[in-house]
Amino acid sequence: MSVVSSVCCYCGTGCGVLIETDAGEITGVRGDPAHPANRGKLCTKGATLHLSAQASGRALYPELRTHRESPRRRVSWDAALDHVAEKFRAVIREHGPDAVAFYISGQLTTEAYYVFNKLAKGLIRTNNVDTNSRLCMSSAVAGYKATLGADAPPGCYDDIDHAGTIFIAGSNTAYAHPILFRRIEAARQANPNLKLIVVDPRRTDTANEADLHLAILPGTDVALYHAMLNVMLWEELIDRDTIAAHTEGWDALRETVRDYTPEKVAPICGVAATDIVQAARWFAAGPTLSLYCQGLNQSSCGLDKNATLINLHLASGQIGKPGAAPLSLTGQPNAMGGREVGGLANLLSAHRDLDNPEHRAEVARLWGVDDVPATPGKTAVEMFDAVKRGEIRAIWIACTNPAQSLPDQNLVHEALQTAECVVLQEAFADTETAPYADVLLPAATWGEQDGTMTNSERCISRVHAAVPPPGEARADWEIVRDFALRLDPAKAARLFLYDSAEVVFNEHRETTRGRDLDITGLSYALLDRAPQQWPFPEGATAGRTRLYADGVYPTASGRAHFHAAPYKPVAEAIDARYPLHLNTGRLRDQWHAMSRTGKVARLFAHADAPVLSMNVRDMELRRLKAGDLVRVKSRRGEAVVAVEASDSLRPGQCFLPMHWGARFMGGLGVNALTLPVFDAVSKQPEFKHAAVQVAKAELPWRMAALAVGDGAKLLDAVQPLLRACDYAAAGLAGRDRDVLTLRLAHTQPLPESLLAALDAALGLDDPLAVMHYQDKPRGISKRVRVDGGKVTAARLTGETAIFDWLRDVIVEGADATPLRAWILAPVTRPPAGGAGRGRVVCNCLNVAEPDIVVAIAAGADLAALQATLKCGTECGSCVPELKRLLSARRAAA
Ligand code: SF4
């Protein structure tokens, strides 16, 4: 066995991992004790990375089709790249370079990002290169630049240990950045005086931990921050010396916030004026570390939200010292690296701006090209709009899944259908975007390629290949280089002289010389010894942990700028037809569009289907009960999901997880509902709010299926059923083997041909191995396959009450003999006490909620739960939920 160090490929915490390999296969993963971000810890997602590496569903060979209607066929790399080069050349010749576009990803290495950017802006001469980081971090970038002058997070994770107040805004850190939340828990244990303020419309597990939870109404953050500044002004909690010496724009901001008294703002935000006052006092007392994420970023005024929060830091002197900083949490593992190389439609290498002629000239000189085009490129939403209009004719998508993740999915699917040529560079062949690919280029992924990534605290880590990529998959940067060499052989031979990721890194490094993120003192050799924070200029012996300690900012005047924007409401107001606020966000055990986590069966144990959370009052108004199927409609589309009551939401609000797309549910997924309105500057769309209506979905026909096998292949097999039904939820269960779970509901029975195809795919068509029960008048049919005395597949039509229980029987590999009567009998209830073991709260140790609830009812506290059931003793990701269950019990007592 050998061990290779690398970085987790999920969230922007950037945890170090040690990848264990045996005979060319990834066999295990553990946290790297030497990595400063996580010090050996991993959350549920990181700890199961090796399982995602072993899963099937990978893109293994280049594939190509010349007609949209034909299936893709396997071709050689030469044939695939020659075809794409010819197609791109033809489009550029006929329609100009802006008729092609690249939509790339915050999951690429910095090196791959750099090469893509140079290909588009340097070789092809289009700025149409944007990334899924636009959906995630561009408002944070805009906020930093508008106030501090550069896209440079001033703080670091160690500030958690020095803070007197931690102000979490728009982030369910306990779910989205669990390892950072572990650090916050540890800091609070070490310092009981450390205050935690959480601003979030929902009472999340993060908010549940807070000393003060400001459950603001959706989108009212700017009003809140202005009101907090108003309090600071009245109570003389501002740092007048810092304001005078190091900022500008104070007078305008002071005039703006004069009207935002806590009393006036309280009804706007839906929080008590006294809570606003308390938040302002704790914030100003400091040292205050703000941690913020998509609640601020994914907004039609995301820049204002970010910048007005930074106002508070500047006005109260909470910046540039230990424990005091506005630290934006990055959603993706390398959104920061992408920004460093300028891999967005409005940026250039090393934090240069496309609209700055000097910056364009500098980059042209560094790249050895005549110039860089001045016309800004199309950003994510604009790009797919332009594809739909036919303005962009060929699009290259790399390492991202726009057919799930962009807002207004109807529009995105139309655009992909319209494009003349869709190239998909992907590790996974089964994403929602894959069916649209005319050319599929198999890419290496986590554990298979070299490079670097930068996390939320400006810390650059080496990413190492632990095993070779499977099949003919290649490293992302290599694919781009090889394409460039075909597209324009003469020029590319000069511009793309790369024979390793290190050569690319060294070129990128040189572009940073003299810039705010200068890394000329770094090398692969140094990074192999330990991750380093930027800036790290030549001659330095260490990176800078905190920025702006001297009060000098990278602006023309050297002063930070206050941002005096007024509060603006959400883009889509609720009304009589769409009366509910819909919020979307992350769950603990899934990540983004599930192309990777959706392959790990145990990651479905915490939440196995998309569920709409609603306040119980809104459910009663609609005569809904938990588990009912509901139709959620916005002005753009609809989704049919189950509903649950949640006391984390106020009346009038509802929440859907962001992860489920058309591969795992019916329709086009959650983003059929979201709107493509974006911030005017950052161009980041408003995922965090849409006006919706919710009504019971009357779908009398029900079916459920279960099957043991290869998860990715079984999910492939059920795709036609997902398309055929109004409601569908497909997923996986199990720990040691994959078990497909499928629930369907529709207005009428599905055609027999579809059911027969499903039976064949699940092995339920073999009369020798399958028990069958049929009650035609009642529309009930059950087929159960037993192999070696164990149930291995089942289809329940018309009556599905035993689904949860039967799933557990299959997952546990229980003996089927005593269960035959229950499985096939015309009963709607499982055996007594057999309702299924329930949701798994502790994924590491496989501890389910009902067992925890029983222990709590018997008097267990957190320590007793950990001692007896062992839950929360491994990665700790479930500890906030255990605490919530404990406090729910206390409240009920
Ligand atoms: Fe990966 Fe979890 Fe660390 Fe994020 S917190 S980098 S998902 S292990």
What tens digit of pLDDT does each residue of 364-397 get? 999 999 999 999 999 999 999 999 999 999 999 9
By CB neighbour count within 10 A (0-12 exposed, 13-18 middle, 19+ buried), where does 675 fall?
A: buried
CA of 426 from ligand 1 middle (Å) equals 22
Could you tell me if 600 and 55 are in contact, meaning their C-beta atoms sit under 8 angstroms apart? yes
Residue 344 φ then ψ, to 5°: -135, 165
Q: Which of 292, 315, 15, 278 is nearest to 166 (CA)?
A: 292
SS3 101: strand
Using CA atoms, how far apart are residues 188 and 767, in angstroms rounded to an integer?
61
SS3 744: strand
Ligand 1 site, residue 42, Cβ cutoff 6 A: yes
Beta strands in 232-382 (DSSP E): 247-248, 288-292, 325-328, 347-348, 352-353
Q: Which of 277, 271, 207 is nearest to 237 (CA)?
A: 277
Pocket test for ligand 1, best of 43, 206, 454 (most atoms within 8 A of CB): 43
For 234, other C-beta atoms within 10 Å of its C-beta total 13
Residues contacting 504, CB < 8 A, separation 6+: 111, 114, 115, 477, 498
Nearest CA to ligand 1 atom 2: 43
Residue 433 φ then ψ, to 5°: -80, -25
Using CA atoms, how far apart are residues 691 and 782, in angstroms rounded to an integer?
40
Q: Which of 286, 295, 310 is nearest to 204 (CA)?
A: 295
Q: What share of the chain is helix, strand, coil (3-state, %, to 5)?
A: 35, 20, 45
Using CA atoms, how far apart are residues 402 and 426, in angstroms rounded to an integer?
12
CA of 11 from ligand 1 middle (Å) equals 5
Ligand 1 site, residue 265, Cβ cutoff 6 A: no
Q: Which residues of 807-840 are buried (b: 16+ CB within 10 A; e: fewer)?
A: bbbbbebeebeebeebbbeeeeebeeebebbeeb
Ligand 1 site, residue 178, Cβ cutoff 6 A: yes
DSSP 8-state symbol, 815: B
CA 82 remoteness from chain centre:
34
CA distances, 491 to each of 61, 506, 511 (Å): 28, 20, 20
Q: Return the pLDDT at 79.
A: 98
Q: Return the pLDDT at 835.
A: 64
Could you tell me if 378 and 356 are in contact, meaning their C-beta atoms sit under 8 angstroms apart? no
Residues of the chain where predicted confidence (pLDDT) is lower than 70: 826-835
CA of 42 from ligand 1 middle (Å) equals 6
Ligand 1 atom showing the smallest separation from residue 43 Cα = 2
Q: Return the pLDDT at 889.
A: 81
The alpha carbon dihedral of 870, 185, 291, 267 has a sign of: positive
Nearest CA to ligand 1 atom 3: 15
Using CA atoms, how far apart are residues 38 and 12, in angstroms rounded to an integer?
12
Ligand 1 atom showing the smallest separation from residue 17 Cα = 8
Nearest CA to ligand 1 atom 4: 11
SS3 567: coil
Could you tell me if 735 and 811 are in contact, meaning their C-beta atoms sit under 8 angstroms apart? yes
DSSP 8-state symbol, 124: I
Beta strands 212-214 and 611-614 are unpaired
Q: What is the 3-state secondary structure (H, E, C) of 662-712?
A: CCCECCCCHHHCCCCCECCCCCCECCCCEEEEEEECCCCEEEEEEEECCHH
CA of 31 from ligand 1 middle (Å) equals 10
Using CA atoms, how far apart are residues 367 and 872, in angstroms rounded to an integer?
51
Q: Which helix (H) or strand (E) holds 572?
A: none
Beta strands in 777-830 (DSSP E): 780-787, 790-797
Residue 609 φ then ψ, to 5°: -160, 160
Could you tell me if 564 and 310 are in contact, meaning their C-beta atoms sit under 8 angstroms apart? no
CA of 682 from ligand 1 middle (Å) equals 26
Task: Count the alpha carbons within 13 Å of 714 in the hemisphere toward its beta carbon.
Answer: 26
SS3 773: strand
Ligand 1 site, residue 13, Cβ cutoff 6 A: yes
Q: Return the pLDDT at 763.
A: 95
SS3 103: strand
Q: Is the peptide bond before 287 cis (omega within 30 degrees of 0)?
A: yes
Ligand 1 site, residue 15, Cβ cutoff 6 A: yes
Beta strands 247-248 and 560-561 are parallel
Ligand 1 site, residue 174, Cβ cutoff 6 A: no
CA of 650 from ligand 1 middle (Å) equals 30
Q: Which of 626, 612, 627 is nearest to 694 (CA)?
A: 612
CA of 454 from ligand 1 middle (Å) equals 13
CA of 459 from ligand 1 middle (Å) equals 15
Q: How far apart are the first and last CA of the chain?
A: 52
Ligand 1 site, residue 330, Cβ cutoff 6 A: no
Ligand 1 site, residue 459, Cβ cutoff 6 A: no
List beta partners, residue 167. Answer: 197, 290
By CB neighbour count within 10 A (0-12 exposed, 13-18 middle, 19+ buried), where does 874 fall?
A: middle
Beta strands 421-426 and 439-442 are parallel
Could you tell me if 762 and 783 are in contact, meaning their C-beta atoms sit under 8 angstroms apart? no
Ligand 1 site, residue 29, Cβ cutoff 6 A: no
Q: Which of 281, 177, 220 is nearest to 588 (CA)?
A: 177
For 365, other C-beta atoms within 10 Å of its C-beta total 11
Ligand 1 site, residue 46, Cβ cutoff 6 A: yes
Residue 238 tokens read as: 């501002």
For 777, other C-beta atoms within 10 Å of its C-beta total 5
